[in-house]
């Protein structure tokens, strides 16, 4: 597969994930890419909003038809997260890091998020859509987003969005190929861990009915975060199952 071989560019959409799903239903090939200059209803996880103004960010969605078990789909967020971090590092030299499972941060602020959605039935995956939002040349953010930043804010340099997209596609291709083998992250989990900011740090795990603090000790090849509490209890935290409150003061 080559990510981005087929592309659709839009001046304005509601959400590139929504566009990609419609294209999937109309038969789009795996690797197809939807890119928009602006989103009017950009989405985060769990119905949250994603601020997507015109001309300054990368708002895009990759359509995939992975031949993996349905439980492996949320791991695509980690595949994308690593590809984004590598792309940003390669093109800008900035110290971008992954905040497990799906954020990319620079100097403790969020510059990028990933939204992974899927369609399937009876354990079969029809398609998955991996949405990537990256603040590239944004100069300022609304007051409601105190923990957001952009590559421009962090460096004082404006970057070419097209070049960043090309870097992302190349890295994503490589990691996705490895992921496709077994639906696991085994071939690049060390690289992921080396670029992950939560590891060996305190995290707060927020589950539906409880929350607790713990120390993040590892990430396994399924992309699960391994945490240890003060009383020694070790828990495997699933991607998509909980939110981790980490560097910022708000709940993600």
Smallest separation (angstroms) from ligand BT5 to the CB of 212:
20
The site map against ligand BT5 for 62-101 (x = CB under 6 A) is ----------------------------------------
Taking alpha carbons only, the member of 123, 10, 131, 12 closest to residue 64 is 131
Secondary structure element (H or E) that encloses residue 235, with its range: strand 234-237
CA dist 104 and 12 (Å) reads 24
CA dist 145 and 188 (Å) reads 32
Considering only residues 3, 15, 199, 239, which one is a binding residue for ligand BT5 as defined by CB under 6 A? 15
Considering only residues 21, 31, 35, 50, which one is a binding residue for ligand BT5 as defined by CB under 6 A? 50
Smallest separation (angstroms) from ligand BT5 to the CB of 181:
26
Smallest separation (angstroms) from ligand BT5 to the CB of 148:
3
Residues 6+ apart with CB under 8 A from 198: 99, 100, 216, 225, 244, 246
Q: How many CB atoms lie within 10 A of CB 82?
A: 25
Considering only residues 3, 24, 33, 59, which one is a binding residue for ligand BT5 as defined by CB under 6 A? 59
Site for ligand BT5, residues 213 to 252, rule: CB under 6 A: 252
CA dist 41 and 28 (Å) reads 22
Residue 118 in the binding site for ligand BT5 (CB under 6 A): no
Residue 195 in the binding site for ligand BT5 (CB under 6 A): no
Residue count at the site for ligand BT5 (CB under 6 A)? 29
Query: Which three-class secondary structure state does DSSP give residue 36?
Result: strand
Residue 159 in the binding site for ligand BT5 (CB under 6 A): no
CA angle 48, 51, 57 (to 5 degrees): 135
Residue 44 in the binding site for ligand BT5 (CB under 6 A): yes
Residues found near ligand BT5 in the complex (CB under 6 A): 15-17, 39, 42-45, 48-52, 59-61, 102-103, 110, 113-115, 131-133, 135, 145, 148, 252
């Amino acid at each position: 597969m080559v990510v981005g071989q087929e592309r659709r560019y839009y001046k304005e959409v509601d959400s590139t994930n929504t566009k990609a799903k419609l294209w999937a239903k109309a038969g789009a090939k795996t690797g197809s890419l939807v890119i928009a200059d602006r989103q009017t209803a950009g989405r985060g996880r769990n119905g949250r909003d994603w601020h997507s103004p015109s001309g300054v960010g990368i708002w895009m969605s990759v359509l995939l038809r992975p031949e993996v078990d349905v439980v492996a789909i949320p791991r695509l967020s980690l595949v994308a997260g690593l590809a984004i971090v590598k792309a940003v590092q390669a093109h800008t030299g900035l110290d971008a890091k992954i905040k497990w499972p799906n954020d990319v941060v620079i100097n403790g602020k969020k510059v990028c998020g990933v939204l992974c959605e899927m369609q399937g039935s009876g354990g079969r995956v029809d398609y998955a859509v991996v949405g990537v939002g990256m603040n590239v040349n944004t100069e300022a953010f609304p007051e409601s987003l105190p923990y957001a930043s952009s590559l421009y804010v962090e460096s004082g340099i404006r970057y070419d969005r097209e070049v960043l997209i090309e870097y992302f596609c190349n890295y994503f291709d490589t990691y996705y190929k490895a992921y496709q083998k077994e639906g696991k992250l085994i071939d690049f989990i060390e690289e992921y861990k080396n670029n992950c900011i939560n590891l060996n740090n305190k995290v707060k795990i927020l589950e539906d009915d409880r929350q607790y603090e713990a120390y993040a000790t590892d990430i396994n090849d399924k992309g699960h975060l391994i945490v240890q509490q003060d009383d020694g209890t070790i828990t495997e935290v699933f991607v998509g199952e909980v939110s981790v409150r980490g560097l910022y003061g708000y709940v993600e």
